[in-house]
Structure 1
Amino acid sequence: MKYLISEGNMAQVVCSRCSNQFEASNHLVTTGAAAAGAAVGAYFGPGVGIAMGPLGAIAGTVPGAIIGGTIASLGITKFTRCPSCGHVFMI
């Protein structure tokens, strides 16, 4: 995997299959993955109670959504697809 720095200081990825140069970030995919991860975290979160000490406990809906969205958005940014040949690889 080769990376090039262009004039705008954005990393350009060079596809190992077709040698096409492209920018690897896709904000729409990252946002979609974060939303899906947040939905999954919110779905499974209520089954996990979070102890709050003397204040009692809360359901894990919101913390589960936050953790799920964060993990999903970090994980999806490690993969990219070449717009020219469609080859999927890990950055």
Structure 2
Amino acid sequence: MLPSTASAAPWQNMNARKNQIERQIDQGVRTGRLTRQEASGLRGQFASLMRLERDYSRGGLSIRERSDLDRRYDALSARVRAESRDRQVARRR
């Protein structure tokens, strides 16, 4: 059994987390809360994280690797939220 903390959110599978982050970025762009530059940077970070996950998965995910990916997905999701709330407004064309 994996140790857990009372404040930890339930674990989501990687596909659910990827979909959630993609939705967050897409919604931020649609609503104008993310600029193109912010969205591009976030998508680049997302792509890097997906490459890392692919590299880790080649030998099967260890507990340490899963924990590392969880931490990185959490951090990216927090960056998306922070960028969406930083009051920079995307210009509409």
State the TM-score, normalizing by the size of structure 2.
0.32
More strand by percentage: 1
More helix by percentage: 2
Higher relative contact order (CA 8 A, sep 6+): 2
State the TM-score, normalizing by the size of structure 1.
0.32
Q: Which has the larger radius of gyration?
A: 1
